[in-house]
Amino acid sequence: MKIGFIGTGNMGAAIIKGYVKKDEKNKNDILAYDNVPEKVKKLVDECGIIQSHSVSHLMQNSDIIILAVKPDIYGHILEEISPLMKKEQILVSIAAGITIRYLESFFDLPVKAVRTMPNTPALVNEGITALSKNENIDASEFEMVINIFDSIGKTEIIDEKLMDIIPGVSGSSPAYVYMFIEALADGAVLQGMPRKKAYQFAAQSVLGAARMVIETGKHPGELKDMVCSPGGTTIEAVAVLEDRGMRSAVIEAVAACTEKSRKMSK
């Protein structure tokens, strides 16, 4: 199956790089177009993919079309590809707020549409992608789309009504985690640790803690309690975080992100 990417921004490039990193032979199946040709040329040089110099060329040579552009220009792109779309092709959205109904509204034919929400850790094959589909796609076709995103991390099929929650909990959340890592490192630097080592300790600790949650299956609260000895250093730090409202700040951040996504969907 030939996979065509319209747009090669941060997310599109992350999927392409992750997909090729998973298996170098995948590069022969990827076409990409961007209105800034230099972006695609960089990916051609780095990953060996095929550059399309027009949307029409990409549409003619792709089985799956992934729209990796900003939400505010989806309408323009959909109008452009609508007359070029074939009934057997599959259209994939990766943008927040773009509903399946919105995708369908641009086509006279019963378009095969998939709505996804990946995140940028796809670049290191540690992403997670939520997927929903319309009724025009059969199980084998949906599996082909799932396989693309399986190659860059984990996938979860969800009801589309939950999709607006995904940016808050995974699509945007790497940014929150980077802020946390930076703050941890700043704290260590304040206490005298060289910055490079501080980032290494902070990042590895976050990575290890995440793997503990996934691989042990234990509740995060239980894992936290395992680290908190009575009267020890960890519970002292936890008390400060609770006092400063860390939990409520994170919950409110997810709520704000979700509300923004819902507004975009309307």
Phi/psi of residue 199, nearest 5 degrees:
-65, -40
| Higher per-residue pLDDT: 151 or 246 | 246
Q: Which residues pair with 211 in a beta bridge?
A: none
Q: In a 3-state reduction of DSSP, which class is residue 19?
A: helix
C-alpha distances out from residue 64 to 30, 226, 247, 256, 263, Å: 10, 47, 41, 33, 28
Q: b/e map of 235-246 (b: 16 or more CB within 10 Å)?
A: eeebeeeeeeee
Phi, psi angles (nearest 5°) of residue 31: -115, 150
> Would you tell me how many other CB atoms lie within 10 Å of the CB of residue 15?
30
CATH 3.40.50.720 range(s) for the chain read 3-161
Where does the chain hold its CATH 1.10.3730.10 domain(s)? 171-265
**pLDDT score for 227:** 97
* pLDDT tens, residue by residue, 8-49: 988 899 899 988 988 889 899 999 999 999 999 999 999 999
User: What is the per-residue pLDDT across 107-157, written as a single tens digit (0 to 9) for each?
Assistant: 999 999 999 999 989 888 899 999 999 999 999 999 999 999 998 899 999
Q: What percent of the chain has pLDDT over 70?
A: 100
Bridge partners of 129, per DSSP, are 155
User: Does the predicted TM-score (pTM) go above 0.85?
Assistant: yes
The contacts of residue 99 (CB under 8 Å, 6+ apart) are: 115, 160, 163, 265
CATH-assigned architecture of domain 3-161: 3-Layer(aba) Sandwich (3.40)
Residue 131: which residues within 8 A CB-CB, separation 6 or more?
A: 114, 115, 116, 142, 145, 146, 149, 155, 156, 157, 158
Collapsing DSSP to helix, strand or coil, 35 comes out as coil
Question: 118 CB contacts (<8 Å, ≥6 apart)?
Answer: 11, 14, 15, 94, 127, 128, 129, 149, 152, 153, 171
Q: Is 262 helix (H, G, I), strand (E, B) or coil?
A: helix
Coil, strand or helix: which one is 133? strand
Q: So what's the architecture of 171-265 in CATH? A: Orthogonal Bundle (1.10)
